[in-house]
């Protein structure tokens, strides 16, 4: 621990600002610290947790899949083990149950180990998506093939978002574009409505004048944005950027054509799902309106 260099109130405020539930214990497994999210997750007040054995409060309602959480905490506190990730089902004090991941590492203050740090993450959306994907796989196995659908020219692949996509987007895209304002739970609501499409080189993804029916987030590759009668491209967009937000926000036709400059993967969010998400995440509306206004100014200057 850096003594005297950082105000304890700052450290507490930082821990309360993160989305995960953070708990610290001493070498005997008694709670030294619990942030606001830990209290919200468990239903315990902080004064009820402090000084109590974590095994009797937060670990008791936890039903792990594999290694015991209690033994992991003991191993981190006394042996210095770190980076253990345990998935299980957490029981809130009220009786609600939901899936979580718990990361357990050693707490080091005097060279340590001096205790353990537990970080709980609600993975309800991730598990729901994983189960949805597995059900789709089982249905495909039973029917012998995927349900056929019309595929536009240049579209090489179309599939639902998979668990591996959630990991990639959660870790790499939360500070990019319209995802920057979303928390983990809100991000999960968006991702479960998306599908991934892979386009061949020179394939149109959006055509100017068509009805705006979806927003596209670029995962890999690059696209050009062009307008009829213009000699130069309006923009070239790459990984992490998105197109299509104006047609969804303003309920009008596409203002430009978007073409893949190479084999390109994009996440697609349909207008119907988009509107349902906006109702659940009001702050997303303002973020997208600001970005759409900026895109309109870009078109006006070009």
Please report whether residue 253 resides in a domain: yes
Q: What is the CATH number of the domain that holds 106?
A: 3.30.450.20
Asked if the model's pLDDT at residue 35 lies above 60, the reply is yes
Indicate if 79 and 163 belong to the same structural domain.
no
Q: Which of 186, 173, 183 is nearest to 218 (CA)?
A: 173
Asked if the model's pLDDT at residue 210 lies above 60, the reply is yes
Binned at pLDDT 50, 70 and 90, residue 68 comes out as confident
Question: Can you give the pLDDT at residue 220?
Answer: 93
Binned at pLDDT 50, 70 and 90, residue 2 comes out as very low
Backbone phi, psi, residue 243, to 5°: -135, 160
Indicate if 196 and 238 belong to the same structural domain.
yes
Of 84-88, 172-176, 196-200, 266-270, where does the model show the most confidence?
Answer: 196-200
Domain boundary among 122, 151, 182: 122
Number of domains in the chain: 2
Binned at pLDDT 50, 70 and 90, residue 41 comes out as confident
Q: What is the CATH number of the domain that holds 229?
A: 2.60.120.10
Indicate if 163 and 56 belong to the same structural domain.
no
Indicate if 87 and 174 belong to the same structural domain.
no
Residue range 202-209: average pLDDT? 92
Please report whether residue 23 resides in a domain: yes
pLDDT in tens, 115-165: 888 888 887 777 776 676 666 656 655 655 444 455 677 899 888 887 777
**Full residue range of the structural domain in which residue 15 is found:** 8-122
With 0-12 CB in 10 A as exposed, 13-18 as middle and 19+ as buried, what is 261?
A: middle
Pairing of strands 31-34, 63-64: unpaired
Please report whether residue 3 resides in a domain: no
Indicate if 256 and 294 belong to the same structural domain.
yes
Please report whether residue 2 resides in a domain: no
């Amino acid at each position: 621990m850096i003594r005297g260099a950082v105000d304890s109130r700052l450290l507490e405020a930082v821990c309360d600002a993160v989305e995960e539930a953070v708990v610290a214990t001493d070498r005997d497994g008694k709670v030294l610290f619990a942030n606001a999210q830990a209290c919200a997750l468990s239903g315990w007040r902080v004064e009820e947790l402090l000084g109590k054995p974590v095994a009797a409060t937060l670990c008791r309602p936890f039903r792990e899949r594999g290694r015991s959480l209690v033994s992991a905490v003991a191993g981190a506190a006394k042996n210095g083990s770190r980076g253990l990730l345990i998935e299980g089902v957490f029981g809130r004090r009220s009786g609600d149950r939901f899936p979580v991941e718990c990361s357990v590492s050693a707490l080091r203050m005097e060279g340590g180990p001096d205790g353990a740090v537990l970080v709980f993450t609600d993975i309800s959306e991730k598990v729901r998506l994983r189960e949805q994907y597995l059900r789709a796989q089982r249905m495909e196995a039973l029917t012998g093939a995927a349900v056929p659908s019309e595929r536009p020219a240049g579209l090489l692949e179309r599939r639902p978002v998979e668990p591996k996509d959630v990991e990639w987007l959660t870790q790499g895209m939360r500070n990019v574009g319209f995802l920057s304002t979303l928390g983990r739970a809100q991000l999960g609501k968006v991702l479960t409505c998306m599908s991934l499409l892979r386009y061949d080189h020179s394939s149109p993804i959006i055509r100017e004048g068509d009805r705006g029916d979806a927003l596209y987030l670029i995962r890999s590759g690059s696209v050009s944005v062009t307008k009829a009668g213009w000699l130069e491209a309006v923009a070239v967009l790459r990984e992490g950027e998105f197109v299509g937000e104006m047609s969804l926000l303003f309920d009008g036709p596409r203002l430009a054509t978007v073409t893949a400059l190479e084999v390109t993967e994009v996440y697609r969010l349909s207008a119907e799902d988009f509107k349902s998400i906006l109702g659940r995440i009001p702050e997303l509306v303002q973020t997208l309106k600001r970005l759409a206004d900026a895109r309109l100014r870009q078109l006006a200057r070009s």
